[in-house]
Structure 1
Amino acid sequence: MALKEKLASVISRDARLRQAIAQLESGDDAVKGFKALGQLAQQGNVEAQYRTGKAYLEGWGTPPSLEDGTRWVRKAAEAGHVQARLTLATLYLVGFPEGFDENRATIMRDGKERKRVPDLELAAHWSRLAANEGQPDAQALLGYVLTNGPESSRDLVEAREWYEKSASAGSAQGHLGLGMALHSDPKSPEDLARGTVELLLASDAGLATAFYFLAWINEQGIGQAQDLAAAARYFEKAAERGIVQAQTRFALYLLQGKGLARRPDRAETWLRRAALGGDAEAAALLGDLHIRGEEMAPNYLEAATWYQVAAELGHGAAARGLGLLYLTGTGVHRDPDEAARWFRVSAECGDRVADADLGNLALTGIGSEEGRVAMQKRFLQAAENGDLVGAFNVGVCYAEGVGTERDDAQAAYWMQRAADGVVNAQYWLGRMYLEGRGVREDSGAAVQWLEKAAQARMTEAMILLAQLLVSGRVPKGRDHARALALYVDAAQLGSVEAMFSAGAMLGGGHDVPVDRREAQRFFRLAAERGHALGQLMLGRYLKRGLAGEVNPVEARIWLERAQAQGVNEASPELAKLERRLGTRPGGQAPAH
């Protein structure tokens, strides 16, 4: 009788467990199911302990609780429950918040975000127990810990063995781990091919990391022919699954039209997602995108916002870009002190160009004289120690008398020292030879140095060199075709002055074919960016139909803007236009 009662009790307990699990998983009566599981867990049922822990961790039938969930999962794991051991290993791999104590239910309920601290040793301990029981995902997790854990406990050979077992059992994580292991340390070309097959099997299960690695394999042509279209597809799949780096990479494909149609609008959407996910490069690219304008008008305020996001994430070039916006008052209020602050941030991030910008910024006279003297000494010490950027900066100080007496010969000496590695120094040295400052005047040497800076895509050097080629102040005389090419290149890099100059050359009067449609396009680019003479010329073109388009209404708008900026030639043009339209200035019809 006692045996029958005991058997009935077991059957009854198993039935109650199945019913509680069904209630919990169906969601129809999750609270009731959770309560029943809790009672069974208190009675020592190991499966119920594991299920109760999972319910707490995932918020099924009860408010989520990391503390309670971990405590119940640990009870089940210590009792030998294989799945509980895998869950506990995963918790240690992800890491518990700093100060976490599963026995103090109040510590995590103060609303504060805490950094998670992984414990790979305990992750290895619990995953090994489950792996030895044949749990495929635990085998993959153990392989991961043995690959990426502390140097003292790494064992790539054993890791691969566990990956092999896991993959053989059909675990998607095992396929992923084995594929990555075969690609990271291939012993033969066959390993690469097999690794790709394993990654494809992992991708069939929808694993984001598998898509990401397959994208790189196709992009780089690792173990196979390069396939940019496939790379784009895989980057997109990884991006959709939340891999931030893939979102940035896919955006670049859309911007460049690599492997798929070019779509700057979609690229911006993905860059925003990646930037909001903490990717500094994506935020910097968004800044660049809004500076250039692409298929939309430039938005300098938006550019400044994203540059600041990237700069605060440690992106040196973005900090420098933000400094330049503050220096010129583009999209933000003009603030040389704020510009200097961001240049310093950029330099501290390792951007040596920003250090050069700090030298240039010294010319604006920010800070005290004592501070400028200290800065000049710092630059001089760096220059004497062989630092090329320091040599450029001290050259600027001598050239302009910042923190020291002006000395053109010393300026030229340090510019020469810096010119082999600093583009700004090449530009300055070209100007010094052109003007005979600290060196004998030599237009040939000036052109050589300006050519170097122009080849490095420095717009100021491109524009000055183009001006010399237009005027003929070069040893070989005028070269208008080369000058136009320089202006066009500088315009594509965002120089408003170059946009206007390219339009002026194409409009006629120079030794290049006249193309007034293209001239009007360049004048419009300059006008939209606030260039007063560009606004005048665009107004004239639209008023007179010089490029085949007559639009007196828009012409008036641009001429009025030029006039507001003090361009005197706009006034007679407006007067003629008003007479033609029969209106007064401002577009009003005359009184009758």
Structure 2
Amino acid sequence: MAALIDRIRRAIRPAPALAEQLALADQAARRGDHDAALAIWGPLAQEGQPEAQTRVGMCFAEGTGLGRDPALAFRWFSLAAAQGDPAGCRLLAHAFFRGEGTVEDPARAAELYRQAAEAGDAEAMDMLSWMLTEGEILPPDPAEALRLAEAAAAVGNAAATTRLGMFYHNALGVARDPARAAGYWQKAAVMGDADAQAMLGAALLLGTGIARDPVMAFVWLLRGHAGNSPLAYPFLQRAAAALPPEEQGRARRLAGMPPDGAAP
């Protein structure tokens, strides 16, 4: 009888909790099994679950597991954002900013970035910080831009960490502090941000805020250039010229590149 009761209990086991379902779908997506992920996200999105709606929108935006369709991505992001999902708000802002699946509307994008940032989305904080620094879409506000960058960097956002370095390098609302700038770039460079790698390389080449190190300067500039940072190229030839061929080769090996290549 006990065995029968145990079988009945297993048969009527409740469905996994929402968080567990989303975690299983995310795990499937990370290993490249988008069909399995969508088998979970799809029904949840149809039922109105905002996080699942955001993820389905991402599949349409990126063409992963589904054909790329910016208009459908926009639809799903809109549904998620209407329910206050921070990632949905941020991705809907991206769509308005780039004009993907909808008309380009930078002002509406800024509103949505702010909504997502206020809900704690680090990428939205960084984007809003950029807007407040550039002053083209929103009135410039260096103090608020700095605050947002600091908040995003505090939770590990690499781009915001790089931006903090720029604040201290260019004295944007703060006193110029090359050492602090280099420290932020060093942190973000290790996190893989290509612009930070380029700026760290330039700082090491020039000895600005950090001890001069021509080999590591070339290492980081190579990495930044490989990551498509436009900030690296102006310094690459100068960094290469500062090193004899054997040191260039060593730097290339440290950067994970063929040791006999010419400087880009």
Q: Tell me if the contact between 1:83 and 1:130 (Cα under 8 Å) persists in the aligned partners.
A: no
Corresponding residue for 1:88? 24
d(CA) in 1 for partners of 2:128 and 2:262?
34
Cα offsets for 1:39-97 (capped at 9, x unmatched): 999824544x73xxxxxxxxxxxxxxxxxxxxxxxxxxxxxx6554433322233x12x
Separation (CA, whole Å) in 2 of partners of 1:148 and 1:87: 20
- Paired residues in the alignment total 245
Query: Where does residue 212 of structure 1 map in the other structure?
Result: 126
Larger Rg over CA atoms: 1
Distance in 2 (CA, whole Å) between partners of 1:256 and 1:303 is 23
Paired position in structure 2 for 1:124? 38
Pairwise CA distance, 1:274 = 0.9
1:43 to 6, 10, 20: 10
Equivalence map 1:421-570=2 (5 Å): none
1:470-505, Cα deviation, whole Å (9 max, x unpaired): xxxxxxxxxxxxxxxxxxxxxxxxxxxxxxxxxxxx
- The percent of aligned pairs where both chains have the same amino acid is 27
Q: Distance in 2 between matches of 1:204 and 1:225?
A: 18
Cα distance in 2 for residues equivalent to 1:45 and 1:321 = 70
Give the root-mean-square deviation of aligned CA atoms: 3.4
Cα 1:119/1:184, change in 2 over 3 Å: farther
- List structure 1 segments (4+ residues) > 6 angstroms apart after TM superposition: 39-42
Asked if residue 266 in structure 1 is aligned to residue 202 in structure 2, the reply is no
Q: Is the 8 A contact 2:59 2:65 kept in 1?
A: no
Supply the distance in 2 between the matched residues of 1:253 and 1:230 (Cα, whole angstroms): 12
Q: Give the one of 59, 64, 87 matched to 1:173.
A: 87
- Is the 2:38–2:56 Cα contact (8 Å) retained in structure 1? yes
Per the alignment, in what secondary structure is the counterpart of residue 243 of structure 2? helix
Q: How does 1:331-346 map to 2 (within 5 A)?
A: 336-339=245-248, 345-346=261-262
Q: Deviations over 1:1-39 (max 9, x none)?
A: xxxxxxxx9xxxxxxxxxxxxxxxxxxxxxxxxxxxxx9
The one-letter amino acid of 2:125's match is F
Gaps of 5+ in 2: 227-231, 253-258
Cα pair 1:215 1:234 within 8 Å, conserved: yes
Judged with a 3 Å threshold, the aligned counterparts in structure 2 of structure 1 residues 273 and 137 are, in CA distance, closer, same or farther, namely same
Q: Given residue 140 of structure 1, which amino acid in structure 2 is its aligned partner?
A: T
Structure 2 residue aligned with 1:305: 216
For 1:340 and 1:155, the matched residues in 2 are separated by 45
* Cα shift at 1:295: 5.8
Call closer, same or farther: CA 1:273–1:124 in 2, change over 3 Å.
same
Aligned counterpart, 1:201: 115
Seen in structure 2, the aligned counterparts of structure 1 residues 121 and 216 have a Cα distance that, compared at 3 Å, is farther
Q: Any idea what SS the aligned residue of 2:160 has?
A: helix
> What amino acid does structure 1 have at the position aligned with 2:158?
V
TM-aligned CA deviation for residue 345 of structure 1? 3.2
Tell me the distance in 1 between the aligned counterparts of 2:87 and 2:177: 34
- Equivalents in 2 of 1:136, 1:259: separation in Å? 38
Q: Choose from 173, 181, 187 the match for 2:103.
A: 187
Paired letter, 2:10 = Q
Between the aligned partners of 1:169 and 1:143, the Cα distance in structure 2 is 14
Cα distance, 1:211 vs. partner? 0.7
TM-score by length of 2: 0.75
Extract unaligned runs of 5+ from structure 1. 1-8, 10-38, 51-80, 97-117, 328-335, 352-592
Give CA-to-partner distance per residue, 1:356-414, whole Å, 9 cap, x none. xxxxxxxxxxxxxxxxxxxxxxxxxxxxxxxxxxxxxxxxxxxxxxxxxxxxxxxxxxx
AA at the equivalent of 1:259: G
Tell me which of 228, 233, 241 is aligned to 1:324.
241
Deviation, 1:204, is 1.6
CA shift for structure 1 position 314: 5.1
Q: Distance in 1 between matches of 2:7 and 2:193?
A: 47
Give the whole-Å Cα distance in 2 for the aligned partners of 1:320 and 1:170.
48
Which secondary structure does the structure 1 equivalent of 2:137 belong to? Answer: coil
CA deviations 1:153-174 (Å, max 9, x no partner) are 1222222222222222222222
Q: Contact 2:196–2:224 (CA<8 Å) still a contact in 1?
A: no
